[in-house]
Amino acid sequence: MAKNSFKLALRLAVIVACWTNQEGRAQSSIHLYGTVDLGVRYSTNQTLSGSNLVELTPGASATSKLGINGREDLGKGTAAIFTLESALNPDTGELEDASVLFSKQSWLGIEGPFGQVTVGRQYTPLYNAEWAIEPFGLVNPYESSFIYGNYGGGTNWDNSLMYSATAGGFTGVLMTALGEKAGDTQAGRSWGASLAYADELLTFNTAYQRAHNDQRYVASEAWNIGGSVYLKPIRLFLGYLHHQSELTSQKNEVYHTGFIYDIEPNLELIGGYYHDKQRAVDGKKQTVSAMLTYRFSERTAVYVQTDYSKIDAGYSLNIFDSMKFPASQNSDGEISTFAPSRTSFMMGIRHNF
């Protein structure tokens, strides 16, 4: 089914590309876009015995995707807008999520002087705020992306309604996702909000969101705050994220900092440090990541990326950890053996279209 859906999406994309070349459609536009990113990655301690892994994998520079977006001018400053976007695994040609065709975004809306109203599958307020306050942002290195996988409460919400408005450099967002449970508006429901400011020198972002499971418990509650300052040719970042859940006494606080250094117009160095302090179930994780990117053009680049992560025994009990290190437990549920660290190195190429 997934392969058939993907073939259908490609056929639709070809039709869209042909349609956009027609004359006489000045007030409407549809665009086909995407990214293909692949790399060879070497990583240590993939098993308790210390086995290493070499793999060809979706790259660390960006998520591979295929998307279609469009806009129709409705007059008086208003427009209809939409985006349909799939995440891809170019190493196998499969969808990243075989059960969802447009796994990244699938929404429709109206924009105008009043702001923007959109409905569908959309990025959450916390996700949009977090990638703006940490140096790797929309870049996708494996170990440092644990923030989104662990504590994002889902980077996308289905069945969601969002309102956003911008004024004087500030952007505010309100969002809710319907649980769609008959007779119970709380079960499965999520909601959140964010506030951002940006100019040429400074950025500031903060967000709060909570997501309920089908039993009405708060499965994920998180907020963050941070920003950046541009001291040409370097941008410095500082941020903080707090996460908790009614499903456990565990709480996590992530402190992160880093930089983007424009060495030359076509050469960029990114570095970041992430410290995840785990409370109640005491533990910690520390990650250092760096990536050097050389751009042949606006569309094509090559890069090398490396990271090192270290955890303690308590952190291996993190029930939200999407990048668990190998570990074993004794009959009392205590950690008896675990891999305390992991080092990775990757070389890859990225092309945007």
Q: Which residues contact 268 (CB under 8 A, 6 or more apart)?
A: 260, 261, 262, 292, 293, 295
As a whole number, mean pLDDT of residues 281-292 equals 95
What is the torsional sign of CA 85, 87, 93, 95? negative
Q: Distances in Å between the alpha carbon of 159 and those of 52, 106, 143?
A: 41, 10, 30
Q: Residue 13 has what pLDDT?
A: 54
Spatial distance between the Cα atoms of 252 and 242, rounded to a whole number of angstroms: 6
Q: CB–CB of 68/19 below 8 Å?
A: no
Q: Residue 24 has what pLDDT?
A: 42
DSSP structure string for 187-225: TT-EEEEEEEEE-SSEEEEEEEEEEE-TTS-EEEEEEEE
As a whole number, mean pLDDT of residues 6-12 equals 55
Burial of 305 (0-12, 13-18, 19+ CB in 10 A): buried
DSSP structure string for 260-327: EEEEETTEEEEEEEEEEEEETTTEEEEEEEEEEEEESSSSEEEEEEEEEEEE-TGGGG-TT-TTPPPE
Give the containing element (helix H, strand E) for 2: helix 2-19
Q: CB–CB of 87/166 below 8 Å?
A: no
Spatial distance between the Cα atoms of 319 and 73, rounded to a whole number of angstroms: 47
- pLDDT at residue 38 is higher than 70: yes
pLDDT, tens only, 40-89: 999 999 999 999 999 999 887 888 999 999 999 999 999 999 999 999 99
With cut-offs at 50, 70 and 90, classify the pLDDT of residue 3: low
Q: Which pair of structure tokens corresponds to residue 42?
A: 């070497």
Residues paired with residue 173 on neighbouring β-strands, in sequence order: 164, 194
Q: CB–CB of 101/5 below 8 Å?
A: yes
- pLDDT at residue 18 is higher than 80: no
Q: Which pair of structure tokens corresponds to residue 168?
A: 């004087």
Residues paired with residue 198 on neighbouring β-strands, in sequence order: 203
Helix, strand, coil distribution of the chain in percent, nearest 5: 10, 55, 30
- pLDDT at residue 11 is higher than 90: no
- pLDDT at residue 23 is higher than 70: no
As a whole number, mean pLDDT of residues 101-111 equals 97
Provide the 10 A C-beta neighbour count for residue 295. 16
Q: Residue 8 has what pLDDT?
A: 52
Q: Residue 284 has what pLDDT?
A: 97
Report which of 306, 12, 296 is spatially closest to residue 144, judged by C-alpha positions.
306
Residues paired with residue 190 on neighbouring β-strands, in sequence order: 177, 211
pLDDT, tens only, 181-222: 999 999 999 999 999 999 999 999 999 999 999 999 999 999
pLDDT, tens only, 142-180: 776 788 888 988 889 999 999 999 999 999 999 999 999
- pLDDT at residue 6 is higher than 90: no
- pLDDT at residue 228 is higher than 90: yes
Q: Which residues contact 59 (CB under 8 A, 6 or more apart)?
A: 37, 38, 39, 140, 303, 346, 348, 349, 350
As a whole number, mean pLDDT of residues 270-278 equals 96
Q: Residue 138 has what pLDDT?
A: 67
Q: Residue 111 has what pLDDT?
A: 98
Higher pLDDT, 218 or 25: 218
As a whole number, mean pLDDT of residues 285-305 equals 96
Q: Which pair of structure tokens corresponds to residue 185?
A: 């508006």
| Mean pLDDT score across all residues of the chain | 91
